[in-house]
Amino acid sequence: MAKKRILSGMRPTGKLHIGHYVGALENWVSLQNEYENFHLIADYHVLTTSLRNDDIYQNTIEMVIDWLASGLDPVKSPIFRQSQIKEHTELHLIFSMLVTAARLERNPTVKEQVRDLKIDNVTYGHLGYPVLQSADILLYKGEAVPVGEDQVPHVEITREIARKFNNVYGDVFPESKALLTRFARLSGLDGDAKMSKSLNNTILLSDSPEEVQKKLKKAKTDTQKQRRNDPGRPEVCLVFTYQKKFNPEEVTEIEEGCKSGALGCADCKAKCSEKISKFLNPIIEKRNYFENNLDEVKDILADGEKRAKVVAVATMEEVHKVMKFG
Ligand code: SF4
């Protein structure tokens, strides 16, 4: 039986952090045997947050290196740039006729983005973000999309667009399902719910043990635990959430030590840094390999783009046929 197809994508913003790994990459890697994956570099989508992106190509390469270092297999799953497959823009245009402006204005994800990024002038690009995303998914007939909770409304719009297209022109597209990421996203070092480069609260997948240690020293903990022997509340402590992810075997002991006051925050953070660096070590090793073999990374992109193009062209031929363009 043919494997189901899924589409996963990320905007290229440069080097990735452990939040990207926990919130997306880890899931993508585990799905690549079960599904036929297409891994999209959403470089057009970057324009919604910044019009000038002189580093976009470099950021793309850095992100692909992190993807490969984290275990994505480009032989199993093509890795490709949205901007290099022109069929994305054509399908986006067609889809833009199938969804009302009012529906896009109601989209809670766009409202959140406008608020979080303090966007003053909302462009069509912001409103149309989920329309382009629908084109990204449906161009490859993605039956499922691995996403976090915040992206579920976008997948719903994709389903609505597919349904509308199929009703008007005939059955071409699947109604894609959201495949919820298993782990909640990691909070930033400053305690912000979001780990993000723009908030300067990240641990990068490429950070050395010294950098991890330095960053973690400043991480927010339980504010009531002022001195080493004060009893703490691990349930409100950010470092404890990192311990749960990167040091699960010692988590019970840490919880007890924190609550009783036997464990101080400095020791707890040192232990946590060590575990995060142990986790990052093989990623950094693979990263170094790809950084020293950039031609291999470029070949992987070229191959992925060739394979993605074949599927995209076939879908658009089908679309043209049912729309009677020829
Ligand atoms: S001991 Fe560890 S878990 Fe407890 S408050 Fe300090 S850093 Fe957090």
Task: Please write the tens of the pLDDT for every residue from 80-96.
Answer: 999 999 999 999 999 99
What is the CA(200)–ligand 1 centre distance, in A?
22
What is the CA(265)–ligand 1 centre distance, in A?
5
Enter the tokens of residue 162.
């597919």
What is the CA(16)–ligand 1 centre distance, in A?
26
Phi and psi of 308, rounded to 5°? -65, -40
Residue 115, pLDDT score? 77
Range 158-165 contact pairs with CB under 8 angstroms and sequence separation of 24 or more: 158/130, 158/133, 158/134, 160/99, 160/103, 161/95, 161/98, 161/99, 161/131, 161/134, 162/134, 162/138, 164/98, 164/99, 165/94, 165/95, 165/98
Q: Residue 215 above 90 pLDDT?
A: yes
Provide the CA 81 distance to its chain's centre, in angstroms.
15
Nearest-atom number in ligand 1 for the CA of 222 is: 5
Predicted confidence (pLDDT) per residue in 308-319, tens digit: 999 999 999 999
**pTM over 0.85, yes/no:** yes
Residue 50, pLDDT score? 80
**Mean pLDDT over all residues of the chain?**
92
| Backbone angle region of 118, left / alpha / beta, with phi > 0 → left and psi within -120 to 50 → alpha | left
Q: Residue 120 above 80 pLDDT?
A: no
- Residue boundaries of the structural domains of the chain: 5-187+294-322, 207-287
Nearest CA, atom 6, ligand 1: 265
Residue 183, pLDDT score? 64
Sheet of 144-147, strand order = 79-81, 36-41, 5-10, 144-147, 177-180
Closest C-alpha to 64, from 16, 8, 7, 30 = 16
Residue pair 158/145 in contact (Cβ under 8 Å)? The answer is yes
Provide the CA 155 distance to its chain's centre, in angstroms.
15
As assigned by CATH, the class of the 207-287 domain is mainly alpha
Enter the tokens of residue 80.
């490709």
How many residues in the chain? 326
In the chain, the percentage of residues whose pLDDT exceeds 90 is 75
Q: Residue 116 above 80 pLDDT?
A: no
Q: Is the CB of 273 under 6 A from ligand 1?
A: no
Q: Is the CB of 239 under 6 A from ligand 1?
A: yes
Which pLDDT band holds residue 184 (cuts at 50, 70, 90)? Answer: low
Reported as half-sphere exposure (CB side, CA atoms, 13 A), residue 197 has a value of 11
Q: Is the CB of 268 under 6 A from ligand 1?
A: yes
Among 101-110, 270-279, 310-319, the minimum mean pLDDT is found in: 101-110
Residue 84, pLDDT score? 97
Q: Residue 191 carries which DSSP code?
A: S
Residue 246, pLDDT score? 95
Predicted confidence (pLDDT) per residue in 55-78, tens digit: 999 999 999 999 999 999 999 999
Residue pair 71/112 in contact (Cβ under 8 Å)? The answer is no
Which pLDDT band holds residue 236 (cuts at 50, 70, 90)? Answer: very high
Q: Is the CB of 232 under 6 A from ligand 1?
A: yes
Substitution site in 189, 222, 241, 267 for ligand 1 pocket (most atoms within 8 Å of beta carbon):
222
Nearest-atom number in ligand 1 for the CA of 263 is: 1
Which element (helix H / strand E) includes 40? strand 36-41
Q: Residue 293 carries which DSSP code?
A: -
Q: Residue 147 above 80 pLDDT?
A: yes
Which pLDDT band holds residue 10 (cuts at 50, 70, 90)? Answer: very high
Average pLDDT of the residues in 92-114: 90
Nearest-atom number in ligand 1 for the CA of 264 is: 1
Nearest-atom number in ligand 1 for the CA of 234 is: 3
Q: Is the CB of 221 under 6 A from ligand 1?
A: yes
Phi and psi of 75, rounded to 5°? -75, -40
Which amino acid does the sequence have at 261?
A: G
What is the CA(263)–ligand 1 centre distance, in A?
8
Q: Is 82 exposed, middle or buried (0-12, 13-18, 19+ CB in 10 A)?
A: buried
Average pLDDT of the residues in 254-266: 94
Closest C-alpha to 80, from 129, 28, 41, 135 = 41
Average pLDDT of the residues in 242-263: 94
C-alpha 53/C-alpha 110 separation (Å) is 21
CATH 3.40.50.620 fits 5-187+294-322, yes or no: yes
Substitution site in 224, 237, 250 for ligand 1 pocket (most atoms within 8 Å of beta carbon):
237
Average pLDDT of the residues in 33-42: 94
Which pLDDT band holds residue 1 (cuts at 50, 70, 90)? Answer: low
3-state secondary structure of 129: helix
